[in-house]
Amino acid sequence: MKNILMGFLISTCMFLMIGTTQEMFITSSENGRYIPIPCRDRVCMMDSRTGDFYASDYGIWKIDTKLSE
Protein backbone atom coordinates (compact mmCIF):
# COMPACT_ATOMS: atom_id res chain seq x y z
CA MET A 1 0.00 0.00 0.00
CA LYS A 2 2.87 2.30 0.87
CA ASN A 3 4.48 1.72 -2.56
CA ILE A 4 1.25 2.63 -4.39
CA LEU A 5 0.84 5.82 -2.36
CA MET A 6 4.47 6.86 -2.96
CA GLY A 7 4.16 6.15 -6.69
CA PHE A 8 1.00 8.25 -6.90
CA LEU A 9 2.58 11.16 -5.01
CA ILE A 10 5.78 11.07 -7.08
CA SER A 11 3.86 10.97 -10.36
CA THR A 12 1.65 13.85 -9.19
CA CYS A 13 4.72 15.94 -8.31
CA MET A 14 6.33 15.15 -11.67
CA PHE A 15 3.14 16.13 -13.48
CA LEU A 16 3.05 19.47 -11.64
CA MET A 17 6.74 20.18 -12.30
CA ILE A 18 6.47 19.41 -16.01
CA GLY A 19 3.41 21.65 -16.37
CA THR A 20 5.00 24.77 -14.86
CA THR A 21 6.27 27.48 -17.19
CA GLN A 22 8.08 30.77 -16.68
CA GLU A 23 6.22 32.54 -19.50
CA MET A 24 2.94 34.39 -19.33
CA PHE A 25 0.05 32.96 -21.27
CA ILE A 26 -0.68 34.61 -24.62
CA THR A 27 -4.38 35.46 -24.87
CA SER A 28 -4.40 37.51 -28.07
CA SER A 29 -6.47 35.07 -30.10
CA GLU A 30 -8.24 36.02 -33.32
CA ASN A 31 -11.07 33.54 -32.68
CA GLY A 32 -14.46 35.23 -32.75
CA ARG A 33 -13.15 38.49 -34.16
CA TYR A 34 -15.17 38.39 -37.40
CA ILE A 35 -18.93 37.85 -37.12
CA PRO A 36 -21.10 36.82 -40.10
CA ILE A 37 -24.17 39.02 -40.62
CA PRO A 38 -26.93 38.20 -43.15
CA CYS A 39 -27.61 41.09 -45.56
CA ARG A 40 -30.53 40.26 -47.89
CA ASP A 41 -29.14 37.88 -50.51
CA ARG A 42 -25.53 37.80 -49.29
CA VAL A 43 -23.51 37.49 -46.11
CA CYS A 44 -21.58 40.44 -44.73
CA MET A 45 -18.83 40.25 -42.16
CA MET A 46 -18.27 42.54 -39.17
CA ASP A 47 -15.01 43.07 -37.31
CA SER A 48 -16.01 42.93 -33.63
CA ARG A 49 -12.95 44.96 -32.53
CA THR A 50 -13.23 47.91 -34.90
CA GLY A 51 -16.88 47.73 -35.97
CA ASP A 52 -16.01 47.73 -39.69
CA PHE A 53 -18.35 45.93 -42.10
CA TYR A 54 -16.97 43.89 -44.99
CA ALA A 55 -18.72 42.66 -48.14
CA SER A 56 -17.53 40.00 -50.57
CA ASP A 57 -17.13 40.93 -54.23
CA TYR A 58 -16.19 37.83 -56.22
CA GLY A 59 -14.30 36.26 -53.32
CA ILE A 60 -12.47 39.43 -52.22
CA TRP A 61 -13.53 41.00 -48.92
CA LYS A 62 -13.65 44.81 -48.98
CA ILE A 63 -14.78 47.37 -46.42
CA ASP A 64 -18.45 48.18 -47.01
CA THR A 65 -19.41 51.65 -45.77
CA LYS A 66 -23.08 51.30 -46.68
CA LEU A 67 -25.07 48.23 -45.72
CA SER A 68 -27.96 47.21 -47.93
CA GLU A 69 -31.31 47.49 -46.19
In the chain, what are the domain boundaries?
A: 2-63
pLDDT at 66: 64
Strand blocks (E) in 1-69: 34-39, 42-47, 53-57, 60-63
| Average pLDDT per block of 10 residues along the chain, 69 residues long | 92 84 70 85 85 83 69
Instruction: Give CA–CA dist 39/43, Å, rounded.
Output: 5
pTM exceeds cut of 0.75: no
- How distant is the alpha carbon of residue 36 from its chain centre? 16
